[in-house]
Amino acid sequence: MSDSGPFEIAGRTAIVTGAATGIGRGIAEHFARAGANVLLCDVADETGRAVVEALAAEGLEAQFVAVDVSEPDAGLILTRIALERWGSLEILVNNAAVQVEKTIEQTAPEEWDRLMDVNFKGVYLCSRAAIPAMRDGGGGSIVNIASVNGFWVEPGLGAYCAAKGGVITLTRSTAADFGRDGIRCNCICPGYVDTGMAGRYLDSQPNPDAARSEVARLHALGRVGEPGDIAACAQFLASDAAAFVTGSAFVVDGGLSLGVVARPDSK
């Protein structure tokens, strides 16, 4: 039974990259429970397969493919598998990402290249492959996971901020180029979300425990996000409720980028 509510996506096919953990896993699980057919992609083979096994135990439609989105044929492989299994492709969520907690002076060229290949080139490769299938099917929705760091930067994340800024701009360009084909493209800009990536960044700070407390206080809502917070927005953008929404960047950050420090008594 789906729980789409007003944001119906039941029966639609979705590819979610970086889906073994964190935000990607949250989106994949949310979509599957809303009745979508979900193809999960990640380099973490064993973890990704465990997610699909758990979904299958609930009677949900999901499949896992171990693919590195930075590889030239990654998007083509994912699109082909989705079409072979379910016959259509209506939704693509470009979520796969890596992070380097360094300034650009400290970032080695190979680290820069790897981050750009996954975080930025991967969006291009998967979108490029999915667009013809969406066009042939009468349209679709591409949801890119960017970040508030695409416009609201933090120290020690030079490459990550640059890549996410590129994702925001690529989102707008994709929306402009393919809107007449019935393809919408939007991005979500999360703030801090309780995932391994955020945890690694906080662990890199001089006092990780103090950093965690301070980060929570930097949100107007007084807490960091959960993967489900991002998944709910992604479902809206994938559904017909967002039929007139394209080229937009949705900030889902609990008020982090407002620059308001939550009161000490905030819960």
Catalytic annotation, residues:
160
Q: Give the H or E element holding residue 54.
A: helix 45-57
Structure tokens at 165: 């800024």
- Comparing C-alpha atoms, which of 144, 96, 135 is closest to residue 117? 96
Collapse the DSSP code of 42 into the 3-class scheme (helix H, G, I; strand E, B; otherwise coil) and give the result. strand
Structure tokens at 176: 């402009």
Please state, in angstroms and rounded to a whole number, the distance separating the CA atoms of residues 45 and 58: 20
Q: Give the H or E element holding residue 175.
A: helix 158-178
- Comparing C-alpha atoms, which of 78, 67, 63, 69 is closest to residue 133? 78
